[in-house]
Structure 1
Amino acid sequence: HGEEFQEHGFWGHTSNFTLEQVAVPFYVLGPGFEPGVETRPTSHLDLPATLLESLGADPALRGGWTLGENLLAPIERRERSVAGWEHLGLYTQSGIFRVRLGGTHGFDVEVFDRDWTLAADQAGAWALEGEALGRLSRESRRFLAPR
């Protein structure tokens, strides 16, 4: 994780999902990697998929062992899920959704812009990103399911 130094009124990490708190530099050098900066959302979960598929793992079986994507074959439109102690976050093209964990008083979700200001059109963001929120729910249940 990153650290925030009052850029958006917060100090440290796990208090929100600003880029200062969730972005981590990642450098890769090797066959198949073109020099440049990747601006699409990525995740630490992408590393196993990238390494194992570079060594011959079948991409069709990826869903059985990771939620990540291969960085050598990035998808154009992608959401990125992040987590803190009390919230899940979902980066989308419409904004950053913050979902309170463990709530007992209903479904507590807010949408913020990239500057961590509450988005003016909450309902519009929900309407545009319903499918992504559904995926977040399914992935969370899969990851958090008791074994």
Structure 2
Amino acid sequence: MSSHSEKLLELELELRSLRLLRDEPFYTGYFGYKMCARVYLNGDGMGKGTHLSLFFVVMRGEYDALLPWPFKQKTQTFTLKHLGDAFKPDPNSSSFRRPVAEMNIASGCPLFVSQSVLETGSYIKDDTIFIKVGGPSPSFLLQNKTNPEL
């Protein structure tokens, strides 16, 4: 078995055994929304067994009283090699309302990146995949709150 084939087999076994990665909570900017990301390496929902799934969780934060609710801003995600996705939150979903508990229900991209694309590309380096999550900062949102496309 070649070294590359062995690596793919190891990755496949790891994907099957490791279900969920959670990052540390972060703020979308100064006085921003508190969020965290959840990554399902072997997929979740529609992506189970075929994709890496990426979900976001709006959390109760220090600045919630200053922010417009529900959370409506388009969120973009990218891998190291610029594979990406974007979604605009559904303002009617409880996932994006002001949190009453510590965190809301996760919402996101069950089909974020196909596992076959991850295996054939150079998206994993030194057993690590980098995922960037971004959106406009709250100061930008407050200045442009009359534009529903932002």
Q: Choose between structure 1 and 2 for higher RCO, CA contacts under 8 A separated by at least 6 residues.
A: 2
Is the structural similarity TM-score above 0.5? no
TM-score (norm 1): 0.25
More strand by percentage: 2
TM-score (norm 2): 0.25
